[in-house]
Amino acid sequence: MSERFLIAVVVGSAVGLSAFTLWADVPDPGYSDVQWGNTVDDTTVMICPSCDASYMQVYVKDESNSPVVGVLVSASFGSPSVHLVGPVEGYTDPSGYVELNICGGLDASTVEQSVSSSITVMCLGVTLYYSPAKDVLSPDMCQGPFSVNIVEALDFAVFATDWLSLRPGSRSNFNRLCNESGGECVGGLDYSIFASHWLHQ
């Protein structure tokens, strides 16, 4: 009788410990952190077909502020005008960290304004980050559902159309600056940024 009781206690303790471990590994949005890297003017996201632009730094912690290791973290864009090369996702390392690189372009060929999109970061069904409307820019501006992501002549034609534009929110105002004397918002500095991504895919 005492032997059975001892086994029951051991099994019960093991089950309880496993349940606690699983519960503790659930990501906690309060302790977790998502930061942007290489944004434009600290506010606007830039995406490029070769991932050579903005990225996300994600630190996943549980409610005991311990790292959640080896779990999948993914980011999604709500706007249909954002066309990604592939999923924006990755697995956390032993410190609970993962860098999410964004490879893609935009369908911005019909409207001169930059694209606005919601952005969500998820881990194990938990929302770690959500922005309802973030400006997104890309030198790859002529994308569609079945087109190949590449910065090419079609994109240069769009940029040329926007050249010397006075719109601060122009899709081609890559540095988000305008001439201080009230002049153009799309100029030489924007061309330099566009040219640095030429033929990226």
Secondary structure (3-state) at 158: helix
**Residue 165: how many CA atoms within 13 Å on its side-chain side?**
22
- pLDDT score at 24: 46
Answer whether residue 1 is part of any domain: no
Judge contact between 152 and 197, C-beta under 8 A: no
Name the helix (H) or strand (E) containing 119: strand 115-123
Answer whether residue 150 is part of any domain: yes
Domain extent, residue 176, equals 27-196
**Residue 163: how many CA atoms within 13 Å on its side-chain side?**
11
Answer whether residue 112 is part of any domain: yes
- State the pTM of this model: 0.83
Start-to-end Cα distance in the chain: 71
Residue 40: name the closest of 183, 201, 195, 169 by CA. 169
Assign residue 181 the CATH number of its domain. Answer: 2.60.40.10
Mean pLDDT score, 171-200? 92
Answer whether residue 76 is part of any domain: yes
pLDDT tens digits along 101-113: 999 999 998 889 9
Domain count for the chain? 1
pLDDT tens digits along 37-96: 999 988 899 999 999 999 999 999 999 999 999 999 999 999 999 999 999 999 999 999
Answer whether residue 20 is part of any domain: no
Answer whether residue 164 is part of any domain: yes
- pLDDT score at 19: 41
Mean pLDDT score, 130-152? 91
Helices (H), the chain: 2-24, 153-162, 188-196
Answer whether residue 4 is part of any domain: no
